[in-house]
Amino acid sequence: MKFRQKYFGDRDFYKMTLAVAVPIMIQNGITNFVGLLDNIMVGRIGTEQMSGIAIVNQLLLVFNLAVFGAISGVGIFGAQFFGCGDHGGVRQTFRFKLYVCAGIVTLGILALFFWGEGLIMLYLHGEGNEQALLATLGYGKKYLLVMLTGLVPFAVEEIYASTLRECGETRLPMIAGVAAVFVNLLFNYLLIFGKMGFPRLGVAGAAIATVISRYVQAAIVILWTHTHAEKMPFIVGVYRTPRVPVPLALKILRMGSPLLFNEVLWAGGMAVLNQCYSMRGLDAVAALNISGTISNLFNIVFMSMGNAIAIIVGQLLGAGKMEEAMDTDRKLIVFSVLSCFVLGGLMLLFAPLFPMLYKTSVGVKDLAAWLIRIAACCMPLYAFMHAAYFTLRSGGKTIITFLFDSVYLWVISIPVAYMLSRYTGMPMVPLYLSCQLIDIIKCVIGFFLVKKGVWIHNIISSEEK
């Protein structure tokens, strides 16, 4: 009985958890499902088109996670301000998000516009298929130029949606996300294949559809927030002054900067890892794209549970309920990991079927199936690492999260992948498996950090309330 009480909650606990996590799961699930359909549509055109988009999306992930990291660092304060009923504090964190994201967007557009081609070329390897490599480069460049026009609405939507979630409103961002993905799906069909009188634009059509959907999503979230000020008091007067109190800004920078750098370095590290895998040729790039798209669809559970941990535990810490925060966090981690044992089993079962949806070579399909199997078996590990990361982050321990996440990636995972990909003839499947299993060490580290309780901390001092 003690074991059950320690690691499992009652019905009300799971109702509360699911009330926070399910809307995020639905939004992410529909987003990733439509992303899957989008990927399949492009994959029906050809391997080069699919690979070009996959490479660009890997580069864009660095930008996306820079925005996410900046917002998340500030969001630690937003969740705790809301937890203690300080709407003025939430307002200040919202303004700070605007400033930092404006800088990230500017740097992102400049970097990708001027150096995008060179970055894409880093992923193009293989012998005897020069024509395919050049075609992949051309498709990637075309896709990237259009996608740059969607960086601003993406950042603005993330600023608004993240603040709404910190204030307990997870339903509206979900609705906006659902609307956006259906807009994306519709215009993908119309513009990729040239249906109903629309031009057949291929990869450019896929990019245009994504940009349109981002503007739709941003518009919904912005309009709802400003027309429901009674539910979201932080928005009242938010643009009346650009002022953010200097002590709060400095504290956010001190605690939030490691999280921003962590996300940028992590995304950059993942780009380097995939570049290492790309040394095995275009087939490896295409197979990773297929397996990654499928994995993202199944990963929504532990990704959403991580967000739930950040919100629920962050609010408890802000309210000064330290013992309850520790108990809640333990049960949320167990729930996330056990859920991923089930989902990993389902993913493993259907692994050979997913690649059959793509119009590509038999070799790419077989390789993708093996990569999906590996990801399915490792899903509980991913779930625990993700939950541990958000637990540490909820208490403002951003230096520790920085060391735990991106420093581990760059110091352990990347050197292993680099050495194996360049100095051995190891095939893609054992290479990928070896790099995933390295994360077992990270799980052990995360277990001791969470168990020790180094994250139990209220970051809001009285002078900032």
Q: pLDDT digits over 389-430, tens only? A: 888 877 777 788 888 888 999 999 999 999 999 999 899 999
**pLDDT at position 300, please?**
86
φ, ψ (nearest 5 deg) of residue 124: -100, 105
- pLDDT at position 458: 66
Residues 220-266 pLDDT 10s: 999 999 999 989 999 998 898 888 888 888 888 887 787 778 778 88
- Compare 160 and 12 and report the one with higher pLDDT: 160
Across the chain, mean pLDDT equals 86
Structure token digits, residue 454: 């180094």
Domain carrying residue 149: 2-464
Total domain count, the chain:
1
Predicted confidence (pLDDT) at residue 370 exceeds the cutoff of 70: yes
pLDDT tens for 95-127 read 999 999 999 999 999 999 999 999 998 888 765
Considering only CA atoms, which of 455, 446, 453, 308 is closest in space to residue 392?
Answer: 455
* Ranges of H-type helices in 351-412: 362-394, 398-402, 408
Phi/psi zone of residue 202: left (φ > 0), alpha (ψ -120 to 50 degrees), beta? left
SS (H, E, C) 425-458: CCCHHHHHHHHHHCHHHHHHHHHHHHHHCCCCCC
Distance CA 364, CA 160 (A): 40
In the three-class reduction of DSSP (H, G, I as helix; E, B as strand; rest coil), residue 325 is classed as helix
Q: Give residues with Cβ within 8 angstroms of 104, minimum separation 6.
A: 63, 66, 67, 70, 155
Closest CA to 9 of 21, 24, 26: 21
pLDDT at 341: 93
Number of Cβ atoms within 10 Å of the Cβ of 363 = 12
Give me the amino acid identity at 164: L
Q: Which two tokens stand for residue 418?
A: 């680099």
- Residue 459 has a pLDDT of 61
pLDDT of residue 254: 82
Per-residue pLDDT, 461: 46
Helix, strand, coil percent content, the chain, rounded in steps of 5: 85, 0, 15
Interior angle at CA 432, CA 431 and CA 438, nearest 5: 95
The model's pLDDT over 301-326, given as tens digits with 9 standing for 90+, comes to 888 888 888 888 887 887 778 888 88
Across the range 292-297, mean pLDDT stands at 84
| Contact call for residues 413 and 330 (beta carbons, < 8 A) | no
